[in-house]
Amino acid sequence: MNSPKAKKGVRCLFFLLIFLVFAAFPSFAAGVDNANSYNPPFLQEIYRLRIDNSANGSIEASLDGGFSWELLGHVLYPTEKVSTGSFAAAKLVEGGRVAATAVNAIHIKTGAINKEKTIFTILPIEMLMPSSSYRSFYSSTSSIYTDIHAGTVIFGGGWAPFVGNQVFLSRANQPLELLPDKYVPKIDDVLEIIVDRPVPLPKEIVFENRFGGSITLTTASGASRVIGQVLRPVSGIGRFEGGVYASPGRLRANHPGVIDISLAPHGSVGGFQIVPSIHGQTLDYVRTKTQWLVVGPGYLKASAVDGMGPLFKYYLQPNYTADALQTADWEGKLLGRYLVQVKYDGRDGWQPAPIFALDRDQPLPAWADTALEKVSYIRILFPVE
């Protein structure tokens, strides 16, 4: 084995193995991260929200750490209850944090992580009379109803929170108190959400829409890292609730078990969802239907991505204001949006997300199961800082 010929053979075998690894996993050349690399990230406060849980209580925002406040809306009906049977992925968030952020709801977690699904909810005015065919989690008794319209202000209109933001009790002349374990809202409680986000934000996240495809994050500086893999591509579209209040190519919702992307014009439904593998395997419809892109860690023994940033905590936010061009700060609002784009088979350039509209009250048409089968890549563009 010590002969020059034997040593040369060993070297050749070594380099052949290296070549095979990179051939099988070409994205490794860009570097691979697991979820722990982004949890927790360095967070910076961007604003605060304050909700007075009383009839006609104020809903306010502060850009200066709570020194001054701007009125955003009012509470119509407060709540004194929590729901213990909410959506399954709520278990993946710590108590005292935002469990879901969407154009049609904000859910606040109060129970223990990995054990309970206990939440209460802040709702837009449209949810006073939800559709009879509403198919998402909804609890009429454990919700704070507001006079703010869905898809605006705190519901994806520029003042939305992020999954994982901490929620406090605010009392006059006292330090903020993180919601205690087993918290149940009381009338006249004042809730304060510190909305912070990672600094800097990534530039984009790209999903290679095929079995075993890579999920690549590009940082603000232009460096690329593989953060996971596609375990099952998406090829269909479905009727996901709340999409009626979003627009094509926009994030409709984010929680520890979903990224919901709208493909329908405002007023219609149609879109798809990205779900993590462990959470997804507990849902029969995810395992059997085509409307879900299932994702997991990028390599063996890596951390699970369920309930973790940058996909399912901290980083994503519904943020779209339809009338942004008519406002004085239109440029900042446009740059602050998240945007979804696609690439099609055989084409190089990025395209706007396709537009589909489905009837909420009719069976899903057969073509919906394959509407996205020609999409080879999907990317989420982050706000420009």
pLDDT tens digits, one per residue of 255-264: 999 999 999 9
Average pLDDT, the chain: 87
Q: Are residues 377 and 294 in the same domain?
A: yes
CB–CB of 239/89 below 8 Å?
Answer: no
Rounded mean pLDDT, 193-198: 97
Question: How many CB atoms are closer than 10 A to CB 116?
Answer: 18
* 68-77, 124-133, 210-219, 317-326, range with the lowest pLDDT: 317-326
On whether residue 76 sits in a domain, the answer given is yes
Among 148, 163, 198, identify where a domain stops: 198
User: Residue 317, class by beta-carbon neighbours within 10 Å (0-12 exposed, 13-18 middle, 19+ buried)?
Assistant: buried
Q: Are residues 228 and 370 in the same domain?
A: yes
Q: Are residues 262 and 317 in the same domain?
A: yes
Report d(CA 202, CA 224) in Å as an integer.
Answer: 10
Q: Are residues 234 and 371 in the same domain?
A: yes
pLDDT of 28 over the 70 cut: no
Q: Are residues 268 and 311 in the same domain?
A: yes
On whether residue 19 sits in a domain, the answer given is no
Range of the domain at 327: 204-381
Question: How many CB atoms are closer than 10 A to CB 250?
Answer: 26
* pLDDT of 134: 59
On whether residue 37 sits in a domain, the answer given is no
Question: How many CB atoms are closer than 10 A to CB 28?
Answer: 14
CA distances from 131 to 122, 126, 136, 262 (A): 17, 9, 11, 18
Q: Per residue in 88-119, pLDDT tens?
A: 999 999 999 999 999 999 999 999 999 999 99
Among 182, 198, 214, identify where a domain stops: 198
On whether residue 320 sits in a domain, the answer given is yes
Choose among 312, 257, 254, 311: nearest CA to 279: 257
| pTM of the predicted model as reported, rounded to 2 decimal places | 0.87
Q: Are residues 194 and 213 in the same domain?
A: no
On whether residue 24 sits in a domain, the answer given is no
The SS3 call for residue 367 is helix
pLDDT of 23 over the 70 cut: no
Q: Are residues 192 and 211 in the same domain?
A: no
Confidence of residue 266 (pLDDT cuts 50, 70, 90): confident
Q: Are residues 188 and 290 in the same domain?
A: no
The SS3 call for residue 297 is coil
User: Residue 128, class by beta-carbon neighbours within 10 Å (0-12 exposed, 13-18 middle, 19+ buried)?
Assistant: middle
Q: Per residue in 167-180, pLDDT tens?
A: 999 998 899 999 99
Q: Are residues 164 and 225 in the same domain?
A: no
On whether residue 18 sits in a domain, the answer given is no
Strand partners, 46: none
pLDDT of 310 over the 80 cut: yes
Q: Are residues 279 and 147 in the same domain?
A: no
Number of domains in the chain: 2
Choose among 51, 284, 56: nearest CA to 168: 51
Among 198, 227, 256, identify where a domain stops: 198
On whether residue 369 sits in a domain, the answer given is yes
* 30-44, 120-134, 363-377, range with the lowest pLDDT: 30-44
On whether residue 315 sits in a domain, the answer given is yes
Q: Are residues 194 and 208 in the same domain?
A: no
* pLDDT of 60: 98
Report d(CA 119, CA 341) in Å as an integer.
Answer: 33
pLDDT of 368 over the 70 cut: yes
Q: Are residues 162 and 246 in the same domain?
A: no
Residue appearing with tokens 């190519």: 249
* pLDDT of 135: 60
Question: How many CB atoms are closer than 10 A to CB 332?
Answer: 13
